Amino acid sequence: MTCLMIDIGSTELSYKDEERLQNKLVGGVILFTRNYQSKKQIKTLTAAIRKIKKNILIAVDHEGGRVQRFRAEFTHIPDMALLGQVYDENQSEGRRLAKLCGQLIAYELGICDIDFSFTPVLDINFGTSSVIGDRSFHHQTEPIVELASSLMEGLNLEGMQSVGKHFPGHGFIKADTHLEIANDNRLLEEIQKKDMSIFNAMIKKNIAGVMPSHVIYTNCDQKPAGFSQFWLKNQLRGLMNFQGAIFSDDMGMKAAQIFEKDLVVRVKKALEAGCDMVLLCNQGKDIDHVLDKLEWKQDSDSIKRLLKMHRDSSKNKVSNSFPVNYSHESVKKNIIELKNLVKKLS
């Protein structure tokens, strides 16, 4: 298990994809909409990836709402904000539906031999972010913890781990780090009291993975969180005692490019800051330059953390003492009911 998670070009592996996957630095693959046509096709693709490297991690962004890479033949998971609306009316129903969403995500991805989704979003919806918005469960910390915990429970029931994002919190500022540099000028104490309290609660519930943001928190450190030893080693590992895997956000995002122009140096800085695995997406031939020039020795603790992110396929076969197909259809029905309920509440 090694330090880079890369993307692939299309719905099947090219010769170049196969060559890259064989590189010793590559320990993961992240899939996108361009890689998907149907469940049959994606199963063939994941099988081809594992034929090259059996223990590779295969992941996808499958939060629900506007961030769901696979749609045809998959259930459309609602925005997490809809779960927050239900929670405000009926807390137990909100938690139940969040758990069912987690089970459904894990089941549908699991049968395609995908290890995990980068979910849940743990950011607070302060009402200002151009990129978070309805991806967030709520504007208050307690409902976020409650709903994220339930979603994680559902994922775990089907053998899938969770990755909470975007540490220490991306919801306060308007800027979108995909497109621009982003500064959050709040004091550390305020961030700890609000945003970080959610991550702290989820760490105590044994969340397996965390993804830091590319935001610069100017009153704390002058580096984006994903490149900052202050945030990853001092705060996340030290103060919060997080023992799980740290995944960088994509190195191709504009905020990361502005921080460090040289891609090899950029990846190295993220690893040195404390990331266990760095996402390298949509970089074309520049990926080959990184694979050729990057020097990094993964330590044994980091390898162990990443190995724990593999899906437990034995749990993907049985759910709550019922055959999964039965549970799956029941969950799909509940998701449809959730959308109808929210329409009534709106």
Q: What is the arithmetic mean of pLDDT over 251-268?
A: 95
Residue 173, CB-side half-sphere exposure with 13 Å CA sphere? 21
The pLDDT confidence band at residue 240, using thresholds 50, 70 and 90, is very high
Q: What is the arithmetic mean of pLDDT over 144-173?
A: 96
Residue 249 is a catalytic residue = yes
pLDDT digits (tens, 9 = 90+) for 216-227: 999 999 999 999
Rg (C-alpha) for the chain, rounded Å, is 19
Q: How far apart are alpha carbons 309 and 268 in whole angstroms?
A: 22
pLDDT for the residue 329:
57
Q: What is the arithmetic mean of pLDDT over 55-77?
A: 92
Which single residue is written with the structure tokens 């199963």? 43
pLDDT digits (tens, 9 = 90+) for 263-320: 999 999 999 999 999 999 988 899 999 999 999 999 999 999 999 999 998 876 544 4
pLDDT for the residue 321:
35
H or E stretch including 211? Answer: strand 209-212
Inter-residue contact 320 to 102 (CB < 8 Å): no
- State yes or no: pLDDT of 130 exceeds 80: no
Q: What is the arithmetic mean of pLDDT over 126-136?
A: 88
Pairing outcome for strands 322-323 and 318-319: antiparallel
Q: Share the mean pLDDT of the chain.
A: 91
Q: How far apart are alpha carbons 276 and 28 in whole angstroms?
A: 11
pLDDT digits (tens, 9 = 90+) for 132-147: 899 999 999 999 999 9
Token pair for residue 300? 């044994």
Catalytic residue among 249, 250, 276, 328: 249
Catalytic residue among 178, 288, 310, 312: 178
Q: How far apart are alpha carbons 51 and 323 in whole angstroms?
A: 29
Q: What is the arithmetic mean of pLDDT over 250-263?
A: 94
Q: What is the arithmetic mean of pLDDT over 159-183?
A: 92
pLDDT for the residue 137:
96
4 pairs with which residues across the strands? Answer: 26, 278
Q: What is the arithmetic mean of pLDDT over 152-181?
A: 93
pLDDT for the residue 176:
84
Q: How far apart are alpha carbons 214 and 176 in whole angstroms?
A: 9
- State yes or no: pLDDT of 323 exceeds 90: no
pLDDT digits (tens, 9 = 90+) for 16-37: 999 999 999 999 999 999 999 9
The pLDDT confidence band at residue 341, using thresholds 50, 70 and 90, is low
Give me the percent of the chain exceeding a pLDDT of 70.
91
Residue 292 is a catalytic residue = no
CB under 8 Å to 230, separation ≥6 — which residues? 220, 221, 223
pLDDT digits (tens, 9 = 90+) for 178-213: 888 899 999 999 999 999 999 999 999 999 999 999
Token pair for residue 34? 């361009």
The pLDDT confidence band at residue 47, using thresholds 50, 70 and 90, is very high
CATH architecture, range 4-345? Alpha-Beta Barrel (3.20)
CB under 8 Å to 97, separation ≥6 — which residues? 83, 86, 334, 335, 338
